Amino acid sequence: MSLEVLLAIALGGSLVTYLLSGVNARLRDGFAVLVSLAVAAGVASLYGRSDSTAFQTGFLGMRLVLRTGPLPWLFAMTVSSIGCLSVIFSLAYMRGRERTGFYYAMLLLIDAAMLGVVLSGDLLSLFIFWEVMSWSTFLLISYNGGPALAAGMKYFVMSITGSLAMLVGVVLVYATAGTLALPGVAAAVSTASSGFRLAVLLLFGVAFAVKNAVWPFHAWLPPAHSEAPSPFSAVLSGVLIKMGVYGFLLLMYVVVGMRGFLSLGWRLLPFHMILSIIGAVTIIVPTFIALLQTDAKRLLAWSTVAQAGYIFLGISFGTSLGVAGGTLHFLSHAVFKALLFMVAGAVEYRTGGVRDLNSLGGFIKKMPVTFVVALIGVSGLIGVPLTNGFVSKWLIYKTLILEGSPFLAFVALIGTWGTVLYSYKFLHNIFLGQLPRQYEDLEPAPASMRLPMTILAAVVLLFGVVPGIPLRAIDAIGSSFGFVGLHAASWGVAAESGAINMVNIFTAVVVGLVIAWLIFRAGARGVRVDQADSYAAGAAVPPDKYQYSVDFYGPLRRMMAPWLVDRADAFFMGLAARVGELSDGVRRVYTGFVGNYVMYVVLFLAALILVQIVWSPW
């Protein structure tokens, strides 16, 4: 399938979906699923291809180009598959809500725009698709109204700031290179002076950092992710913020080029190390903030910020293992975080919109499938061996340690322990413990929600046991940047890059489980008891009160809360307040009455005449 046709299907599908909602809701739902499936299939068919086509030649005398290759393909594949699963998940989630036609059209439009971003072969079309993506995302974040509107506004303002910086960057590049097509730009920028390279990195970097929620530009993410409709949160967290990762990879290793990027800065503190340190900060602070959250989706949102930190740390570290680890972690995170947001969405759907972690519990009895997929997703997030998150994090740690950055490795490893804590809190407070009486008739998640969740959970496990599948695609990306190959085999990474053998580990764990289970079987059988039949020191179990989930890590919270103030957010909110005051002041002058404006003109003229009479400068 050619690239123009693919994009045309994606964009046109969005429009037709919107029009169809006037005809028949069921027809529209089916069509939306069909379009997203077709796009995913189309992208899959591009595997291994590497070419570019100009789809528009006469725009300002520039050619707008679409291209594909190892890097665009991996991102396009992730975007289209997560997008497709999210549409399927939406079927039940959105039923009976208002403006569903608008919702589906926007969801498909965002997917199409993201495809456009990754398939763009020149900076102008990149910018155009980037803008389409930002605008349509704003519309969906604020879909629910109320607090969602404020969250959307915050996103929008930060996003616009990033886009403006990017526009300046585009102009700057065009003024120097005389072209915006990526090969030409890369040739011109990578040989330019170090100051110019730094300027390009910073200008584009602001736009990508806002999207990727790198500290201190993360402030928009927690409210936006928690207020958006859950299936869209999955897209937002799974792939949309990863456009920032794509942007950084493109910027660092294609436009500026590996050599040009790694040689920036001072000898003792290279520029890419500064970026790595920013990545480390993005890991540690949000991880501990996530620990204190009581809103399921807000907890996941903070966790997204932290995981984006791992990705950013990996790709900016600039070793072949680091870039591979960061890129792989992007993929891993896309899968398990989309899954976890869907879990939160399924719970929200069945409980009538409850996200408060203090008021749930015991759902494992009512939603067993959702619990199992949540467990798998959480294991991926922690990076338990045999899940995809383990392989990607292992690559990052390994390179940090062996390249002599133990402090960065320490931050990354401690971040993982923080992840264990908040992940378990998420799991425990929703699914474990006592089931409140009001949820006794809770029904399991509908099949159209279970299907995408099960697929994602299967991918988490598959990529964990056979990491060679994604690693081969990622190895191709690394080679296209000029890095040494990883020699990825299907079971892991070969000894030259530091052996890890997932199949050995897998076998050991399975045999361990079998032996432990055999020992377990040898004992006398247990009697299955109800939750009311729990140990309470001889007293009857008080219903609805025998649960420990409020303030789950109380001692930790008491110790850490004073240290964990989101200063970046406070700064931006302060800035917004100042700008608001300034605008208020301006409004006092710009009253809207013509009489006042006439007065200003007359006063100004009078002042000019006075000046001329007294000093006669003209």
Partner 1 sequence: MKILWFVISPLAALVVGIIFLGLSRRFMARIQWRYGPPLYQPLIDIMRYFTQKSVSHGAIFDLGVVLSLAGSLVVVLFLPFGGICPLRGSGGLLVILYMMLLAPLGMALAGGEAANPNSSIGISRKFALALGYEVPLLLIVLAVMTRYDSISICEIVAAQRAGLPGIATFPLVLSGFAYLLIMPAVLGLRPFEVVQAPQEISSGPLAELGGRYLALAQIQHALAMFIGISLFVNLMWGGASNPFVFFLKMLVVLAFGLTVNAAFPRLRIEQALRYLWRWPTLIAFVGLVLVVVIGR
Least CB distance to partner 1 at residue 563 (A): 11
Least CB distance to partner 1 at residue 500 (A): 4
Site for partner 1 in 314-333 (CB under 8 A): none
For residues 521 and 588, which CB has a smaller minimum distance to partner 1 in the complex?
Answer: 521
Q: State the residue for tokens 């890097």.
A: 71
Amino acid occupying residue 68: T
202 binds partner 1 (CB under 8 A): no
CA distances from 462 to 73, 270, 491 (A): 20, 37, 11
User: CA 583 to CA 19: how far, in whole Å?
Assistant: 40
For residues 15 and 510, which CB has a smaller minimum distance to partner 1 in the complex?
Answer: 510
The correct pick among 168, 187, 188, 413 for binding partner 1 (CB under 8 A) is 413
Angle at 193 between CA 191 and CA 196, to 5 degrees: 105
The correct pick among 421, 442, 451, 455 for binding partner 1 (CB under 8 A) is 421
What is the size of the binding site for partner 1 (CB under 8 A)? 74
Amino acid occupying residue 244: G
For residues 48 and 542, which CB has a smaller minimum distance to partner 1 in the complex?
Answer: 542
Are the CB atoms for 219 and 569 separated by under 8 Å? yes
User: CA 155 to CA 341: how far, in whole Å?
Assistant: 19
Least CB distance to partner 1 at residue 386 (A): 10
559 binds partner 1 (CB under 8 A): yes
The correct pick among 302, 317, 552, 572 for binding partner 1 (CB under 8 A) is 552
Least CB distance to partner 1 at residue 262 (A): 21
- Interhelix angle 320-351/70-93, nearest 10 degrees: 10
Q: Return the structure tokens found at 497.
A: 């890059």
The correct pick among 130, 307, 549, 572 for binding partner 1 (CB under 8 A) is 549
Site for partner 1 in 483-522 (CB under 8 A): 495, 498-501, 504-505, 508-509, 512-513, 515-517, 519-520, 522
Specify the 3-state DSSP secondary structure of 581.
Answer: helix
The correct pick among 528, 538, 563, 615 for binding partner 1 (CB under 8 A) is 528
User: CA 613 to CA 179: how far, in whole Å?
Assistant: 54
Q: Return the structure tokens found at 213.
A: 């929620």
Give the contact letters, 353-392, x = binds to partner 1 (CB under 8 A), - = no.
Answer: ---------x-xx-----x---x------xxxx----x--
Least CB distance to partner 1 at residue 331 (A): 19
Question: Which uninterrupted H or E stretch holds 493?
Answer: strand 492-493
Angle at 64 between CA 63 and CA 70, to 5 degrees: 120
Least CB distance to partner 1 at residue 11 (A): 44
Q: Return the structure tokens found at 206.
A: 């602001």
For residues 490 and 534, which CB has a smaller minimum distance to partner 1 in the complex?
Answer: 534
Question: Which residue from 248, 274, 265, 269 is spatially nearest to 194, judged by alpha carbons?
Answer: 265
User: CA 36 to CA 14: how far, in whole Å?
Assistant: 9
Least CB distance to partner 1 at residue 344 (A): 18
Least CB distance to partner 1 at residue 326 (A): 17
Site for partner 1 in 424-443 (CB under 8 A): 424, 427-428, 431-435
Pairing relation of β-strands 62-67 and 52-59?
antiparallel
Inter-residue long-range contacts of 23-30, CB under 8 Å, 24+ positions, other chains counted = 25/100, 25/101, 28/100, 28/101, 28/104, 29/91, 29/104
For residues 184 and 444, which CB has a smaller minimum distance to partner 1 in the complex?
Answer: 444
Cite the beta strand spans of 19-73 per DSSP E: 52-59, 62-67
Question: Which uninterrupted H or E stretch holds 500?
Answer: strand 500-501
Least CB distance to partner 1 at residue 333 (A): 17
User: CA 398 to CA 457: how far, in whole Å?
Assistant: 26
336 binds partner 1 (CB under 8 A): no
The correct pick among 55, 102, 174, 410 for binding partner 1 (CB under 8 A) is 410
550 binds partner 1 (CB under 8 A): no
Least CB distance to partner 1 at residue 184 (A): 43
Q: Return the structure tokens found at 441.
A: 């008739």
The correct pick among 352, 538, 555, 595 for binding partner 1 (CB under 8 A) is 555
Are the CB atoms for 39 and 10 separated by under 8 Å? yes
